[in-house]
Structure formats: C-alpha cells, structure tokens
Amino acid sequence: MNPSTSALEGRVAIVTGAGSGIGRATALAFSAAGAAVLVADLNGERAEAVTGEIEARGGRARACRVDVGDESSIAAMVAAAVDAFGGLDILHNNAADSDPALMARDRTVTEIDCEVWDRTMRVNLRGPMLGCKHAIPRMLERGGGAIVNTSSASGLTGDLARTAYAASKAGLQSLTQSVATQYGKQGIRCNAIAPGVIATPALEANVAPEALAIYRGSTLAPRLGRPEDIAAAVVFLASPAAEFITGQILPVDGGLLAHHPTVSELRALAGSPA
C-alpha cells in the first residue's frame, strides 16, 4: 500500500504517541502524503526530533508535549494544531502506555491490581475518547474529518495475561464504532487498526525472546510487522480513497488472527521452518 504523495495535500493531522514506533512512522507518512502534522508525545524531546525529521524532508510540522489522559492537555493539543495550521482534518489516536514496569504487572484478572487497570485505561481508552471529544468540533468546522485509532489484535482475542491492555483495546474498538455511528452523517469517519506483532522499541522491551519466536511462527507473513506497515494503513484510512469506510476494525497483523491457534506448534511438529 503506497499512498499518493498528494493524497492528504492541504490536510492537517494530529498524531499522538508520535515520538517513536508506529506514531513516528505515521507522522512521517502523513507528511509525505502532503499533510501538515502536529507531532504529539508525552516525551517532548522525541516529539521535537520527529518534527525535525519532517522539516528536514521539506514537510510542515510542529511538536507538542501531551499527556493524553489529561483533558486540559488534550484540549491544548488540539488548539495548538488549529493555531499552527488553521484547522484540523485528521486525528490518529495512537498513544498507549507501554511502560515495561506497567506491562509486567498486567497479569491475570485475579492477579492484577486496580492501579495497573486504571493507569492502562487512562492512557489507552480515556486518551482516545478525549482526543475525539476535542477534535471532532474542530473537524466539523471544516465539514468533517477522519479519525484512526490504534487498537490491537489483543483487543480481538483473549490473552494469558495483559488483561488491562487487551480490555482497553477492545474498548477502543467499541469507541471507534460509537463515534462512527454518532457523527457519520456530519462527515466524520472513524476507524481503527488492529496491529499484530510489530517490531518497535515497545515490543523489544515487553516481549521475551521465547515468546517473540512463537509470535513469529504464528505470523503468516514471512516477517514481523514494521511501523511503516501500520502507517500505510492509517494514511489510507485517513485519505479520500477510504471515504466510504467507517466504523471498521482493520487487522494489520500479517495473518496472525487468520488461522488455527496451534499453527506454530503444528509447523514445529511437521519439521517445517517457523
């Protein structure tokens, strides 16, 4: 999927969690497709670095430090995009709490403590809700817009652990469909992507090598996903080419969810390469 270099010409986009991984790749891809980009991240230095990358390539971008779980911070982020670029057309709710210390405590439902649950929901679900709440009125001023939420394949299945993470991503899928239902007639499209196993710094920090080998074996594509794979899907969903697509959850997972769950073990049993 290679979006046109002018697919988003004249559009203004916000990307949260844009300092690294999927968010960084999407911010760069939005700019390459012609959009002006507000690069938003909790880590202001990372946001500045990505902004510098975009500007070095001839694009328009501004950096913004944001705490997505804080409503005043989200409101300021949206205002910053409008002030810098004159309006808002696209929102990519991508930020998630991937702190290894938090993820290590996200266990089974009988083992998890409420602090882990609440912190996960604050960033992963409250954050996108607040993004939609404050972005939609500004999009309506321009006749509509597109929202793309980063969910996860974990939100479509059960998991042995990561109870809060999976539940937050499932909730985000429901939020996606609610926003699409409530604002579709006013020109707002809202979709979500459900990435599979994507090679990002967060993956390396949170997944043991043995588990990663199993995920690699369960991915039907010959490699793990890359942030650029997700960015291409986000740009498509945000573009006019997807103007009749809304309320959908798009897995971008290399076929992770397409097969019998024991496929990796069956391959090993048959002596086939993982």
Give the count of beta carbons closer than 10 Å to the beta carbon of residue 212.
15
Distances (CA, A) of 193 to 32, 97, 147, 156, 230: 20, 17, 11, 11, 8
Which residues does the annotation mark as catalytic? 165
Angle at 108 between CA 131 and CA 197, to 5 degrees: 60
Tokens of 64: 């913004």
Report d(CA 189, CA 148) in Å as an integer: 8
Angle at 168 between CA 149 and CA 152, to 5 degrees: 50
Report d(CA 125, CA 109) in Å as an integer: 18
3-state SS assignment for residue 94: coil
CA-based torsion, 69, 73, 78, 80: positive or negative? negative
